[in-house]
Structure 1
Amino acid sequence: MQHTVIVIAGPTASGKTALAIQVAQAFGTSIISADSRQCYREISIGTAKPSAEELRAVPHYFINSHSITEEVNAGRYEKLALQYAREIFAQRPVAVLCGGTGLYIRAFCEGIDDMPPVSPAVRDRINRQYEKEGLAWLQQQLQQRDPAFYAVAETQNPQRLIRALEVLESTGRSITSFRTASRAQRDFRIIKIGITLPKELLHRNIHTRVDLMMAAGLLEEVQSVLPYRSHNALQTVGYQEIFDYLDGKTTLEDAVTLIKTHTRQYAKRQLTWFRKDKEIQWFDARETGAVLRYLEELIIKN
């Protein structure tokens, strides 16, 4: 059987983890996470990591594999995930890669250009300024100083904007100048599955998940990582809103409402990203049987 990686992508709270576990069990294999934050041991509640039971059900790679003090980016992820795939292929012909970080999935499937190193001083300065001035400041900086990037950027995604500004400050060059757009060739087959839900159901799942996160201790988790608040992994939904509460900028109730709003917006951005990939075969997340039949047809019978 040809070595194959099944990619399961989709928006947050759509049911990717549960589906990936069923697929991995059906093919007797392991899962490589493609989530940019679940690799960090110190943050579990706000990243919606698989439960202890789910982690026992199927071996997972890139979950709790790094400390928040370490820098992990798409380039490093590409190398790690390819290494994980080789380890799985030594035992099994099929591997499952599952997550919602589109850039990480693209890096694994197509490769990613090497980016220049950024000094911690530059990163800390930009993050402090962002915390003080907000998204509008980031947008203004890049619109004025790197219009080529800004013209094609996800302008509502602070992580992407911060990264572009870091590169600009460190090298004097646009991040676009480091992109060659050459696609790497992989020596295994890739099958891409996308799952989603009707908007109303997805939004209900998001709201329920946020309430469960708060009940599970999200506030205490955010307090525990306050010393690392400038880290890129924490410039994200679920952490920034609680930081604002801890800074006295908002009430806890309003922070929770904002987490729900920002998570819905993030899910919309994820769907926009993945729908640009014409190789993805889409399914309703509730159609587990249809997904398994589709994969068995492609993998076992071919």
Structure 2
Amino acid sequence: MNKTLISVTGPTAIGKTKLAILLAQHYKTEIISADSRQFFKEMSIGTAVPNTDELNQATHHFIQHKSITEQYTVGDFEREAIQKLSLLFKSNDIVIMVGGSGLYVNAITDGLNTFPTIAPKIRDGLNLDLKERGLRSLQYKLKELDPAYYSKVDIQNPQRVIRALEVCMGSGKPYSSFIDKPKAIREFKVITVGLKAERPLIYNRINERVDLMMETGLIEEAKNLLTFRSYNALQTVGYKELFTYFDGEWTLDFALSEIKKNTRRFAKRQLTWFLRNKNTIWFDYDYEEETLLLEINKELPKLTHD
């Protein structure tokens, strides 16, 4: 097994794209994105999609390849990304993966857990509850049925809450009982590289990024997506706050402060998720390129001679 996937992880706004491009250029290879927010072609500014210059520096896959009107699950991504990796590994010994969506990263490195088939009417009923009673009622229900999963899931993400609930209700077992199963067998080795910084610095970078998004047209982008606000792809930070502003419920300044606050919370959850991987090689966000490449190169012989 002499093929290696280098997975670049870390919180939002830490510099993952820059590092992924550095690695792709150094190893003369290509990049797979595992950032679920960047899959959709209608969302650019609010998801910090790599700009034209960055995309031209290395070949990227799974960037804006879907429409928000399409159903696209983590299972779909796992299947398509593994197929793409099989193709890329025919001409490359190393491929780079980058993204801050922990579930999507794990789908490629470890494989997804297997869940029972659930009757569609259960999800339909939960979606109706979300519309009529709001997310909070679903959060209470999940806390009652599966407190273990409730304590670690992003309870502000209705898609994740509904998915867990439909498994609980359809199987009669907690959602958490189906996760953390043995890893899938992959035909490649994985090196995980993480970027980190002190929390105040991360938060400052997030605030600066949000301000830049506003300067480059986030409000107009969100306005153009307003009629699609019910789609799962738009149940995300940066858009849902502006939709509330468009509804007249918040001022623009308050919506902006909520975007920054919710992005900081998202970054905190990302760190919690990625720190669980004890095999990650961590580097400071202002790493020395030579030192970083040297450390990664030290790991490659270990992998190719296993």
Shared fold (TM-score, shorter chain, > 0.5):
yes
1:299 aligns with 2:304: no
The within-5 A match list for 1:1-302 is: 2-115=2-115, 116=117, 119=120, 121-122=124-125, 124-129=127-132, 133-134=134-135, 136-147=136-147, 149-150=149-150, 153-155=153-155, 157-168=157-168, 174-179=174-179, 181-289=181-289, 290-299=291-300
Shift in Å at residue 163 of structure 1?
A: 2.3
Shift in Å at residue 139 of structure 1?
A: 1.9
SS at match of 2:38: coil
How many pairs does the alignment contain? 299
The residue identity in structure 2 corresponding to 1:4 is T
- The more displaced of 140-149 and 260-269 is 140-149
Residues 157, 279 of structure 1: alpha-carbon distance in 2 compared, 3 angstrom cutoff: farther
Using the aligned pairs only, state the percent identity: 42
Contact kept, 8 Å, 1:24 with 1:95, in 2: the verdict is yes
SS at match of 1:192: strand
Shift in Å at residue 288 of structure 1?
A: 4.2
Shift in Å at residue 293 of structure 1?
A: 1.5
Shift in Å at residue 152 of structure 1?
A: 5.2
SS at match of 1:97: strand
SS at match of 2:286: coil
Residues 217, 166 of structure 1: alpha-carbon distance in 2 compared, 3 angstrom cutoff: farther
SS at match of 1:194: strand
Shift in Å at residue 55 of structure 1?
A: 0.8
Contact kept, 8 Å, 2:118 with 2:171, in 1: the verdict is no
Shift in Å at residue 122 of structure 1?
A: 4.4
SS at match of 1:96: strand
Contact kept, 8 Å, 1:75 with 1:114, in 2: the verdict is no
Contact kept, 8 Å, 1:40 with 1:63, in 2: the verdict is yes
Q: Describe the superposition over 1:201-236 as per-residue Cα deviations: whole angstroms up to 9, x where unpaired.
A: 211111111011111111121122223222222111
Cα distance in 2 for partners of 1:118, 1:206 equals 40
SS at match of 1:8: strand
Contact kept, 8 Å, 1:6 with 1:191, in 2: the verdict is yes
Q: TM-score, normalised by structure 2?
A: 0.89
Shift in Å at residue 239 of structure 1?
A: 1.1
Q: Describe the superposition over 1:56-101 as per-residue Cα deviations: whole angstroms up to 9, x where unpaired.
A: 1111111011111112222221111111211211211100000000
The residue identity in structure 1 corresponding to 2:61 is Y
Contact kept, 8 Å, 2:146 with 2:176, in 1: the verdict is no
Residues 212, 126 of structure 1: alpha-carbon distance in 2 compared, 3 angstrom cutoff: farther
List runs of 5+ in structure 1 lacking aligned partners.
none
Shift in Å at residue 285 of structure 1?
A: 1.5
Shift in Å at residue 126 of structure 1?
A: 4.6
Residues 6, 251 of structure 1: alpha-carbon distance in 2 compared, 3 angstrom cutoff: same
SS at match of 1:138: helix
The residue identity in structure 1 corresponding to 2:300 is I
Contact kept, 8 Å, 2:8 with 2:97, in 1: the verdict is yes
SS at match of 2:43: coil
Shift in Å at residue 133 of structure 1?
A: 3.0
Q: Describe the superposition over 1:13-49 as per-residue Cα deviations: whole angstroms up to 9, x where unpaired.
A: 0000001000100000110001111011111111111
Shift in Å at residue 8 of structure 1?
A: 0.3
List runs of 5+ in structure 2 lacking aligned partners.
none
Cα distance in 2 for partners of 1:226, 1:123 equals 23
SS at match of 1:37: helix
Cα distance in 2 for partners of 1:17, 1:118 equals 39
Contact kept, 8 Å, 2:6 with 2:192, in 1: the verdict is yes
The residue identity in structure 1 corresponding to 2:213 is M
Cα distance in 2 for partners of 1:264, 1:298 equals 32
